[in-house]
Amino acid sequence: MLMLEDVRDLVSGLGFTDDSSVYMGKLDAKQDQSIGVYNLKRSAPYTVAIGGKDKESYGTKQISILIHWNRSMRDTEAVAAELFDKLAAMREVRINEKQIKFIHPLVDQPVDVGTDDNGIYEMVIEIELIYERKGD
């Protein structure tokens, strides 16, 4: 099964910010130029292959990525757009012994969620990862 830490490692490996500034589950301290990776609160309906789960060749994981960047909307939007494009273009990526077939954006662009209490602009990318289920 693809875990949140696998997606966090994938995002960190893209090099948008330091590894220590890519979080999962909770964005502590909210330093500038941070990225948070979360399980999407709304999820897809449960599905199972005919013949049972052991017959499934792929699984899905829905994720929300928070880009918490700086006081410039221009910079924040540029980073979010570049990250969105890189994720949407990914095919056949291997991370932590998991094979991600492709990444499907759930919205057509990063979503502006305004600023935090300190005036730092934030944007969100919602994606669904389709991955191989070998031996899950």
Note the pLDDT tens digit of each residue in 1-21.
899 999 999 999 999 999 999
Enclosing domain of residue 71:
4-132
Residues 6+ away with beta carbon under 8 Å from 28: none
Note the pLDDT tens digit of each residue in 44-97.
777 777 887 787 888 899 999 999 999 999 999 999 999 999 999 999 999 999
CATH of the domain at 77: 3.30.2000.30
Number of domains into which the chain is organized: 1
Q: DSSP state, 44?
A: P
Q: Which two tokens stand for residue 59?
A: 């699984």
Full-prediction pTM beyond 0.85? Answer: yes
Q: Which amino acid is at 85?
A: D
At 136, the pLDDT band (50, 70, 90 cuts) reads low
pLDDT given at position 80? 99
pLDDT given at position 82? 99
